C-alpha cells in the first residue's frame, strides 16, 4: 500500500494469523527441528546468534497446522505496522532503536478485584512461555506465519479476578513521544487503543506475546508485551501494552475511532465481507508479491471460535 493517510492504514494489508500449534504439535515439530539442527550449516545453528535473519535452527522444519512454512525472522521484524514509529513498513525497524522496553509496568484497573500497577516480571513470574505458530492476516491483505512466544491472556485475567460487571477488556499502548517519533505527529489519536469482549479475551487461542522465534520480541514487534488474537485482523494486536482495563461498555478502538465506516470493533477475518475499498477474499503471503492465497473464515480458526458469533450479522458487526 502506498497510502499514508491515517485513514488508510490498517487497510489493504491485513494480516491474518493462522495457525495455532498446540503443545503436542509443537513438541513434534521441535523434534524435526532437532534433526534439522544436526544437519544445519554452522551459521544457522545458534538460535538468535549467527544469523537471526534466517529461520533459527530450532524452528527449522516447523510448519503451521495448515502445513505452511514459517516466515523468516527478517520478514517478521522488518515489515511491520507500528504507527508510533512511522507509517512505512520499514519505519518501525528503522526508528524503534531508542525505545526502552524495560523496566515496564502494566496498570490493571476497572472492574477487577485485584487492580494495581504490575511489574512485567510479576506478570511473567507465574506463567510458562510457549511457542505458538499463528497466521497473521493484516487488514491490508498481506499475511505471514509467525512463531510467537507468549502465554494465554486468560491466565493473567484469572489472576486479577474481574468482577461480574466486566464485559470487555480495553488495552492501551504506551505514550512516549520522546522515544516514539510517530507520536510526535497526529498520525492517530494516541494512545493506540484496542478491546476484546470478555469471552474473546478468555479464549485459549488469545495470546499475550513477549517474543518471536523463541526470543524476546524486538521493539518493532511490540516489546515487551503485546496482544495476538489469531482469528482477527492484525490491528487488534495492540503493541507495547501499559494499561489493561476491565469495563462494562464496548471500548472505542483506535481504527473505529479513526474511521468507523471502514473499521469496527470485532474485526474478525472474513473473506466474505469486503473492506469498503478492497476485497478481503485473498491475501498476499509475504514475501510474495501476488494476492494468490485464499483468505479463510476466521483466519482458519472457525472450528474453535465461530460459536462465539453465532447469530450475529457479521456484515454489521465488522
Q: Considering the complex, state which of residue 136 and residue 201 has its C-beta at the smaller distance from ligand MTE.
A: 136
253 contributes a contact to ligand MTE by CB under 6 A: no
Q: Which of 218, 215, 222 is CA-nearest to residue 238?
A: 222
Q: How many CA atoms lie within 13 A of 316 on its CB side?
A: 4
Q: Where are the alpha helices (DSSP H) in 147-212?
A: 153-160, 198-202
Options 192, 298, 301, 309; binder of ligand MTE; rule CB under 6 A: 192
145 contributes a contact to ligand MTE by CB under 6 A: no
Q: Point out which span in 20-28, 80-88, 163-171, 259-267 binds ligand MTE (CB under 6 A).
A: 80-88
Task: Tell me which residue has cell 485485584.
Answer: 114
Judge whether 186 and 255 are in contact, CB under 8 Å: no
- Inter-CA distances, 264 with 24, 66, 233, 290, Å: 35, 28, 11, 27
Reading the block at residue 292, the C-alpha cell is 494468490
Q: Point out which span in 111-119, 234-242, 283-291, 309-317 binds ligand MTE (CB under 6 A).
A: 234-242
Q: Considering the complex, state which of residue 82 and residue 118 has its C-beta at the smaller distance from ligand MTE.
A: 82
Q: Point out which span in 21-29, 77-85, 127-135, 266-274 binds ligand MTE (CB under 6 A).
A: 77-85
230 contributes a contact to ligand MTE by CB under 6 A: no
Q: How many CA atoms lie within 13 A of 231 on its CB side?
A: 22
195 contributes a contact to ligand MTE by CB under 6 A: no
Q: Point out which span in 62-70, 121-129, 236-244, 309-317 binds ligand MTE (CB under 6 A).
A: 236-244
Q: How many CA atoms lie within 13 A of 9 on its CB side?
A: 24
The count of chain residues that interact with ligand MTE, using the rule CB under 6 A, is 18
Q: Considering the complex, state which of residue 58 and residue 172 has its C-beta at the smaller distance from ligand MTE.
A: 172
Q: Considering the complex, state which of residue 111 and residue 262 has its C-beta at the smaller distance from ligand MTE.
A: 262
User: Assign residue 81 a region: left if phi > 0, alpha if psi is -120 to 50, beta otherwise?
Assistant: beta
Cα dihedral: 194, 196, 201, 204 (round 10): -90
Q: Point out which span in 67-75, 104-112, 230-238, 273-281 binds ligand MTE (CB under 6 A).
A: 230-238
Q: Which residue minimizes CB distance to ligand MTE? A: 234
Q: How many CB atoms lie within 10 A of CB 272?
A: 10
Q: How many CB atoms lie within 10 A of CB 277?
A: 10
Q: Point out which span in 17-25, 30-38, 231-239, 300-308 binds ligand MTE (CB under 6 A).
A: 231-239
Q: Considering the complex, state which of residue 60 and residue 253 has its C-beta at the smaller distance from ligand MTE.
A: 253
173 contributes a contact to ligand MTE by CB under 6 A: yes
Options 82, 171, 298, 309; binder of ligand MTE; rule CB under 6 A: 82
Q: Distance between CA 256 and CA 4 in Å, rounded?
A: 17
171 contributes a contact to ligand MTE by CB under 6 A: no
208 contributes a contact to ligand MTE by CB under 6 A: no
10 contributes a contact to ligand MTE by CB under 6 A: yes
The distance of closest approach from Cβ of residue 123 to ligand MTE in the complex, given in angstroms and rounded to an integer, is 18
Q: Distance between CA 148 and CA 129 in Å, rounded?
A: 10
Q: Which of 208, 199, 47 is CA-nearest to residue 132?
A: 208
Q: Distance between CA 136 and CA 140 in Å, rounded?
A: 11
Options 21, 136, 145, 286; binder of ligand MTE; rule CB under 6 A: 136
Which parts of this chain interact with ligand MTE (CB under 6 A)?
Answer: 10, 15, 80-84, 136, 138, 173, 192, 221-222, 234-235, 237-239
Amino acid at each position: 500500500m502506498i497510502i499514508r493517510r491515517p485513514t488508510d492504514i490498517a487497510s489493504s494489508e491485513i494480516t491474518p494469523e493462522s495457525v495455532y500449534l498446540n503443545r503436542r504439535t509443537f513438541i513434534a515439530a521441535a523434534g524435526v527441528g532437532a534433526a534439522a539442527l544436526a544437519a544445519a550449516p554452522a551459521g544457522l545453528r545458534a538460535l538468535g546468534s549467527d544469523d537471526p535473519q534466517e529461520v533459527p535452527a530450532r524452528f527449522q522444519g516447523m510448519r503451521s497446522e495448515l502445513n505452511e512454512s514459517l516466515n523468516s525472522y527478517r520478514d517478521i521484524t522488518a515489515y511491520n505496522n507500528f504507527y508510533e514509529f512511522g507509517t512505512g513498513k520499514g519505519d518501525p525497524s528503522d526508528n524503534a532503536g531508542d525505545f526502552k522496553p524495560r523496566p515496564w509496568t502494566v496498570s490493571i484497573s476497572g472492574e477487577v478485584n485485584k487492580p494495581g500497577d504490575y511489574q512485567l516480571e510479576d506478570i511473567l513470574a507465574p506463567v510458562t512461555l510457549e511457542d505458538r505458530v499463528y497466521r497473521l492476516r493484516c487488514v491490508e491483505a498481506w499475511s505471514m506465519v509467525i512463531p510467537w512466544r507468549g502465554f494465554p491472556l486468560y491466565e493473567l485475567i484469572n489472576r486479577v479476578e474481574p468482577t461480574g460487571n466486566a464485559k470487555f477488556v480495553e488495552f492501551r499502548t504506551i505514550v512516549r513521544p520522546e522515544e516514539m517519533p510517530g507520536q510526535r505527529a497526529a498520525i492517530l489519536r494516541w494512545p493506540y487503543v484496542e478491546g476484546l469482549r470478555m469471552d474473546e479475551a478468555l479464549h485459549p487461542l488469545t495470546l499475550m506475546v513477549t517474543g518471536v522465534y523463541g526470543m524476546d520480541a524486538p521493539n518493532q514487534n511490540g516489546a515487551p508485551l503485546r496482544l495476538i488474537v489469531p482469528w482477527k485482523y492484525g490491528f487488534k494486536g495492540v503493541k507495547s501494552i501499559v494499561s489493561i482495563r476491565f469495563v462494562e461498555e464496548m471500548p472505542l478502538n483506535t481504527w473505529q475511532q479513526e474511521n468507523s465506516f471502514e473499521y469496527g470493533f470485532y474485526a474478525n477475518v472474513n473473506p466474505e465481507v469486503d473492506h469498503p475499498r478492497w476485497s478481503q477474499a485473498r491475501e498476499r503471503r509475504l514475501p510474495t508479491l501476488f494476492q494468490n492465497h485464499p483468505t479463510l473464515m476466521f483466519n482458519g480458526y472457525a472450528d474453535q471460535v465461530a460459536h462465539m458469533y453465532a447469530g450475529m450479522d457479521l456484515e454489521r458487526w465488522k
